[in-house]
Amino acid sequence: AQSVTQPDIHITVSEGASLELRCNYSYGATPYLFWYVQSPGQGLQLLLKYFSGDTLVQGIKGFEAEFKRSQSSFNLRKPSVHWSDAAEYFCAVGSPSGNTPLVFGKGTRLSVIA
Amino acid sequence: DAGVIQSPRHEVTEMGQEVTLRCKPISGHNSLFWYRQTMMRGLELLIYFNNNVPIDDSGMPEDRFSAKMPNASFSTLKIQPSEPRDSAVYFCASSLASGYNEQFFGPGTRLTVL
């Protein structure tokens, strides 16, 4: 069965510090992987996605993620966090087909302090 | 593109009342998903449609929940009768089945059942 684990429920970082959010997945075939961000009171917005090719993918807002098949991981990173990055972040896994649901992790809440 | 449109954005109702949530997917998308988000359970898939046909409703919690998609541009999620434990944020998402499974989310409907 497909599953996604985000081990960190809540992370606090200082503005300007680097960030890494962890995501581990379980999937029986080649996974399609996504990171979404949810600001308070808003829907989910796609940050980046991995389908194939280069294992380091770039997304919006300066985020990147690296797919490591051997570790079944797809961690999200940002070199310098801004206060506006405070939000909930969700990792998701899906099949190559566009007509099947994604499986989401429980999310990691990011707080940014001055 | 207007994105996925959901209405109402907020709904407050009393226990026992019927609640209808509405969703308009992105034009041209042929897969539609209903999710529910709570603090305790995170983001859960309730039901999804492909080409207006319900494919998997195993996530619908009880018979009190029903969903329809009468045409490609409209879907409803109905709760009758509503209960306080139904209080949550309900998201609708759509995707293009022939695409890379990227789902686009609406802003959500925050439902409060008193």
Q: Tens digits of per-residue pLDDT, A16-56?
A: 999 999 999 998 777 899 999 999 888 899 999 998 888 99
Q: What is the pLDDT confidence band of residue A98, given thresholds at 50, 70 and 90?
A: low
Answer yes or no: is pLDDT of A99 > 80: no
Residue B61 C-alpha, separation from nearest chain A C-alpha, in angstroms: 17
Distance of CA A7 to the CA centre of its chain: 12
Q: Count of A–B CB contacts within 8 Å?
A: 58
Distance of CA B81 to the CA centre of its chain: 17
Task: For chain A, give the mean pLDDT.
Answer: 92
pLDDT tens digits along A62-93? 999 999 999 999 999 999 999 999 999 999 99
* CB nearest to A51's CB, from B100, B104, B107: B100
Task: Please state, as a whole number, how many other Cβ atoms lie within 10 Å of the Cβ of residue B90.
Answer: 22
Q: Coil, helix or strand for A62? A: helix
**Does the beta-carbon distance from A32 to B4 stay under 8 Å?**
no
Q: Does B18 touch chain A (CB under 8 A)?
A: no
- Provide the pLDDT for residue A110: 97
Going by C-alpha positions, the residue among B74, B40, B91 that lies closest to residue A44 is B91
Q: Which of A8-12, B20-24, B55-59, B95-99 has the lowest mean pLDDT?
A: B95-99
- Provide the pLDDT for residue A8: 96
- Provide the pLDDT for residue B1: 65
Cα distances (Å, whole numbers) of residue A37 to A48, B43, B67, B94, B97:
10, 13, 27, 17, 22
pLDDT tens digits along B34-92? 999 998 888 999 999 999 999 999 999 889 999 999 999 999 999 999 999 999 999 99
- Provide the pLDDT for residue B99: 63
Contacts of B32 in chain A (CB under 8 A): none
